[in-house]
Amino acid sequence: MSYSREERLALCALLETTGPDAPTLCAGWTTGDLATHLVLRERRPDAAAGLLGGPLAGYTAVVQQRIKERTPYPALIEAIRSGPPRLSLWAVPGMDERVNTVEYFVHHEDVRRAAPGWEPRELSSGESYALWHRLRAARFLLRRAPVGVELARDDMAPGDGRAFRITAKNATPVVTVIGSPAELTMWVHGRTGAALVRLDGTQAAVNTLTGATWRHAGASRPSRA
């Protein structure tokens, strides 16, 4: 089962429905901008290095705008749907599933949750497990958190023999972020306003954690998975 492929196809279907001018959770980005970002990420390795900021960010922004201006929206969607080029790093067997499951889940939700009246999806247990497994990366994403952060699943019993907590930042005081793997994934990747989670900790610690100033580069535009 390829969850990255499922999310990719579902996102493409949704992008076709919304058109290029619908809002997303990525600040300042329409669905057209998001589609362009995904094409650049998989097909322009020379520009992809600037996606996380740094000295190449300006070049990346120029290339992304050029792709958007020169590529019809349906062609962008078809490029996403067809997957990375055969000789791309992303096309190495197993790479798509390891790297893109979270990428496409989050961006699928970026479009879904920007629409009024959205409801959370019910994911399969397999996809929930895949998202939970990849939340180990939260140690990197939350490395600058001003307090300790623990992630806790609320969709399983503590005694069923599986790990249901991840220490994302080992420090005190600690705030426990509680939710399903899907909601925790959205929260960890900066979609805090659209993630259905609960924060457990002292009020002072929670207030410190929910402050925007500590977040990694790209916090003003939620990090791109």
Q: What are phi and psi of 215, to 5 degrees?
A: -65, 155
User: What are the CA-CA distances from residue 202 to residues 89, 174, 176, 207, 208 (Å)?
Assistant: 44, 8, 10, 9, 10
| pLDDT per position as a tens digit, 88-126 | 777 787 788 888 999 999 999 999 999 999 999 999 999
Tell me which DSSP letter residue 190 carries: T
Q: What are phi and psi of 167, to 5 degrees?
A: -85, 110
Q: CB–CB of 171/189 below 8 Å?
A: no
Selection from 85, 80, 96, 106 nearest residue 8 by Cα:
80
Q: pTM above the 0.95 mark?
A: no
| pLDDT per position as a tens digit, 200-217 | 999 999 999 998 777 644
| Amino acid letter, 55 | P
> Rg (Cα) of the chain, in Å, rounded?
18
